[in-house]
């Protein structure tokens, strides 16, 4: 039997078990996995070190190495995310209302799992634990297809989780990892609709578009992050500087990092020299328009491609704009509908920005780095959806559920 076929069958066998787990059992498993991850830190870090070394030898960028790298603190954060999930209310079984029809039928909706969730993702080993936690809490089985660059790390984490499941007398096939790294296996996985109910891609634009265009499984599209910050004419420039530095440099290899900066022409001369100096300390390359290049001797002239580019590196594009309207128009043209921010003390401009910018998350006076399931109080996230159907923004527990109608009668027949 084909390996993928076997994985699919295993998932379907585990699905009824997961669907019917009670909340206490799910929470107990989540806490056990959290403890096992911390206890297995040494083995997980050793596996991760193999991936890091291979990535460096292959010339992987600093931003992608940062995505790939695990530390003791990051493993503890993964465990904390699982414990947060255990503390959240279980959404499964929630009845979303009940109405009585004239014929006496009681018709309502009940929240239920999606079933078997497939995830294809790139160099983000923390996704392995997050995906498992969210899927377990919502009664879903998960099949993971990580990239070759994180194979050792993902394998170590999945082994830890499966060990915990077995210890709780739960079918370990509640989580399975596809270890084959060839393109043919990935393409075949996208067509496993006999067994997989929904497919979620997480990674670069190329991966996401390949899944969207080739999958026969329904896809929840997560997005790349060409995230903007607009500094308005009435902004607190000290606040703006701190927010931009955080959004650009705290972690450059993540989808909620700031990639593009728009500055109102009235504050350009006051803000840019200070900001340029601070960005220079982090060795951030600035690609700017003509006005920016005049003020910053180290800036590089931006091309059309720069305005729409997700760098995932120590690079940022900066453009001068004459108004909040121009900033909004630029953002809506070039953004990936992920996360956008305005820095302003003008209430009307803030409201206009919130209303007119088309994105999953829109901020006033805060860093785009907060677009994250953990930061939003979801415990973790399965991804950040930039589409508009079913789910949008950080996808927590509710995004991994669907509903079914439940109908109570007392002998009604349709005339």
**For the chain, counts of helices (H) and of strands (E):** 15, 16
pLDDT in tens, 87-135: 999 999 999 999 999 999 999 999 999 999 999 998 789 999 999 999 9
| pLDDT value, residue 383 | 81
pLDDT, averaged across the chain: 93
pLDDT in tens, 262-301: 999 999 999 999 999 999 999 999 999 999 999 998 999 9
Q: What are the residue boundaries of the structural domains of the chain, listed by start?
A: 3-222+395-408, 227-370
| pLDDT value, residue 100 | 96
User: Which CATH code is given to the segment(s) 3-222+395-408?
Assistant: 3.40.605.10
Written as six digits, the tokens of 79 are: 């465990």
| pLDDT value, residue 361 | 94
Per-residue pLDDT for 389 more than 80? no
Kind plus residue range of the DSSP H or E element containing 293: helix 290-295
Per-residue pLDDT for 63 more than 80? no
Written as six digits, the tokens of 253 are: 């290899």
For the whole prediction, is pTM greater than 0.85? no
| pLDDT value, residue 8 | 96
Q: Determine contact, residues 287/306, Cβ cutoff 8 Å.
A: yes
Per-residue pLDDT for 352 more than 90? yes
Written as six digits, the tokens of 22 are: 């009670």
| pLDDT value, residue 379 | 67
Beta strands in 251-296 (DSSP E): 258-264, 285-288
Kind plus residue range of the DSSP H or E element containing 156: helix 151-167
Written as six digits, the tokens of 201 are: 């891609």
Q: What is the CB neighbour count within 10 angstroms for residue 333?
A: 9
Minimum mean pLDDT range among 142-156, 190-204, 212-226: 212-226
* Average pLDDT score over residue span 1-17: 92
Kind plus residue range of the DSSP H or E element containing 163: helix 151-167
Is there a common fold for 3-222+395-408 and 227-370?
Answer: no
Architecture of domain 227-370: 3-Layer(aba) Sandwich (3.40)
Q: What is the CB neighbour count within 10 angstroms for residue 330?
A: 17
Question: What proportion of the chain, given as a percentage, has pLDDT over 70?
Answer: 100
Per-residue pLDDT for 312 more than 80? yes
| Selection from 394, 397, 384 nearest residue 223 by Cα | 384
Report the distance separating Cα 158 and Cα 128, nearest Å.
7
| pLDDT value, residue 223 | 72
* Average pLDDT score over residue span 362-376: 92
Q: Determine contact, residues 400/113, Cβ cutoff 8 Å.
A: yes
Report the distance separating Cα 315 and Cα 400, nearest Å.
35
Q: Determine contact, residues 51/150, Cβ cutoff 8 Å.
A: yes
pLDDT in tens, 19-54: 999 999 999 999 999 999 999 999 999 999 999 999
Report the distance separating Cα 346 and Cα 348, nearest Å.
6
Give 267 or 1, the one with higher predicted confidence.
267
Per-residue pLDDT for 1 more than 60? no
Question: What proportion of the chain, given as a percentage, has pLDDT over 90?
Answer: 82
């Amino acid at each position: 039997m084909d390996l993928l076929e076997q994985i699919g069958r295993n998932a379907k066998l585990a699905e009824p078990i997961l669907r019917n787990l009670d909340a206490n059992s799910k929470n107990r498993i989540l806490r056990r996995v959290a403890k096992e991850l911390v206890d297995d830190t040494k083995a997980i870090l050793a596996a991760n070190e193999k991936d890091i070394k291979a990535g460096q030898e292959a010339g992987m960028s600093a931003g992608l190495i940062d995505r790939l790298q695990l530390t003791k603190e990051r493993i503890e954060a993964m465990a904390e995310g699982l414990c947060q999930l255990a503390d959240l209310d279980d959404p499964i079984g929630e009845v979303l209302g009940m109405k009585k029809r004239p014929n006496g039928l009681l018709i309502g909706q009940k929240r239920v799992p999606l079933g078997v969730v497939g995830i294809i993702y790139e160099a983000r080993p923390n996704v392995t634990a997050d995906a498992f936690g969210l899927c377990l809490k919502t009664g879903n089985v998960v099949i993971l297809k990580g990239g070759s660059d994180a194979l050792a790390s993902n394998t170590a984490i999945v082994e830890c989780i499966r060990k915990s499941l077995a210890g709780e007398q739960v079918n370990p096939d509640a989580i399975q990892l596809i270890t084959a790294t060839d393109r043919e296996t990935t393409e075949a996985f996208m067509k496993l609709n006999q067994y997989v109910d929904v497919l979620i891609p997480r990674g670069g634009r190329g991966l996401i578009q390949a899944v969207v265009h080739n999958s026969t499984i329904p896809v929840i599209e997560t997005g790349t992050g060409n995230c903007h910050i607009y500094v308005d004419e009435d902004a607190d420039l000290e606040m703006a500087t701190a927010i931009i530095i955080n959004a650009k440099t705290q972690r450059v290899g993540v989808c909620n990092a700031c990639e593009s900066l728009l500055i109102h022409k009235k504050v350009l001369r006051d803000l840019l020299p200070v900001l340029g100096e601070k960005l220079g300390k982090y060795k951030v390359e600035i690609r700017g328009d003509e006005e920016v290049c005049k003020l910053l001797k180290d800036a590089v002239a931006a091309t059309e491609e720069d305005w729409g580019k997700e760098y995932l590196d120590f690079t940022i594009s900066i453009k001068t704009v004459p108004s909040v309207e121009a900033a909004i128009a630029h953002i809506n043209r070039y953004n990936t509908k992920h996360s956008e921010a305005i820095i302003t003390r003008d209430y009307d401009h803030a409201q206009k920005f919130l209303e007119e910018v088309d994105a999953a998350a829109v901020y006033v006076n805060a860093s785009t780095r907060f677009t994250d399931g953990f930061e939003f109080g979801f415990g973790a996230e399965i991804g950040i959806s930039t589409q508009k159907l079913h789910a949008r923004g950080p996808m927590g527990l509710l995004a991994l559920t669907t509903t079914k109608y439940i109908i109570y009668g007392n002998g009604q027949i349709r005339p």
